[in-house]
Amino acid sequence: MTMMEWWDGFWATYNTVIFSVGVNAMLALSIYVTLSCGLLSLANAAFMGIGAYAASLISMQTGLPFPLALAAGGILPALVALVIGIPTLRLSGVYLAMATLGFGEVVRVVVLNMDITGGPMGLNGVPPITEWWHIVLLLLATLYILARVRRSKIGRAFEAIKEDEVAARLMGVNVAGYKLLAFVMGAAIAGVAGALNAHYTFTIGPNNYGFENAVDILTMAVFGGTSNLIGPVLGSTILSLLPEVLREFKDFRLAANGLILILVVLYLPKGMWDPRRVRAFLQRRSAAKSATKKVN
């Protein structure tokens, strides 16, 4: 078997998994944005669904180019987030989580009962337009933009609000405005991820964007760590590949994700990728090597 034949067989078998790694990384980054501002939102699965349906309907019913469908998949969830965020973001903590989870259920029921979205059967025959480089390009663009935001005045405001909302307000930070910005940014990223996902799975349905998916997205981000951009990408990659490694336990995936979330919160509160813990580990190794050299 030649290398090219091996690669063709590998790609035919695992291309969906590889695509899902990139899309899940974007979803984890979408919730990272809201978490970086201290918002526990569970609406990202719903925003993903809105983006997926908007882009799919444009591709299936119009002759518009794929980039415009992707743009619509990001803009529509952002507009919805802008509308619902103004009253909803007055809440915080578990109350915000409950409100956004309720919004997700409303979106699911609305989609379930609309003819244009295919009702319970969803949409079938979505054009398979998504290529691997679309996902790589948009993931890199998302990482670049979020890295710039993190080092900007906006990123510092997000961090201040996360640490102490009252103190941030007293310092003159527009808390409501920055919270809304984080919410809208997260919705746009999730919507684009949903649009990309819909155009390689060929079919989408309302049950693809429910409570289970919202928990999956949160688990990926928290598992990897939300103190930097590497954590969500790492967490989403591991949890995307895990079902392939543990295929025999696929029926217990939601339970496994819940268990992982509990263990990470208890023993790795900063997630798998904690820069401080990594630096401390490297310093200990360096000190141990230096001590060994002195003894020798």
Place of tokens 């190794």: 285
Higher pLDDT, 189 or 171: 189
CA–CA distance, 117 with 77 (Å, rounded to integer): 16
- pLDDT tens column, 88-134: 888 888 888 899 989 998 988 888 888 888 888 888 888 989 888 99
Mean pLDDT of 185-214: 91
What are 117's two structure tokens?
């979205």
Geometric angle at alpha carbon 127, from 64 and 11, rounded to 5°: 130
Q: What is the pLDDT of residue 119?
A: 84
Q: Please report which confidence band the pLDDT of residue 2 belongs to, taking 50, 70 and 90 as the band edges.
A: confident
CA–CA distance, 259 with 239 (Å, rounded to integer): 13
Higher pLDDT, 28 or 282: 28
Is the pLDDT reported for residue 33 higher than 90? Answer: yes
What are 236's two structure tokens?
């989403």
Q: CA separation (Å) from 272 to 102, 130, 221, 280, 283?
A: 30, 30, 10, 14, 18
Q: What is the pLDDT of residue 227?
A: 83
Q: What is the pLDDT of residue 91?
A: 84
Is the pLDDT reported for residue 82 higher than 80? Answer: yes
What are 98's two structure tokens?
């409950």
Mapped onto helix, strand or coil, the DSSP state of residue 239 is helix
What is the value of pTM for the model shown? 0.88
CA–CA distance, 197 with 264 (Å, rounded to integer): 28
- pLDDT tens column, 155-177: 999 999 998 888 889 888 899 99
Mapped onto helix, strand or coil, the DSSP state of residue 187 is helix
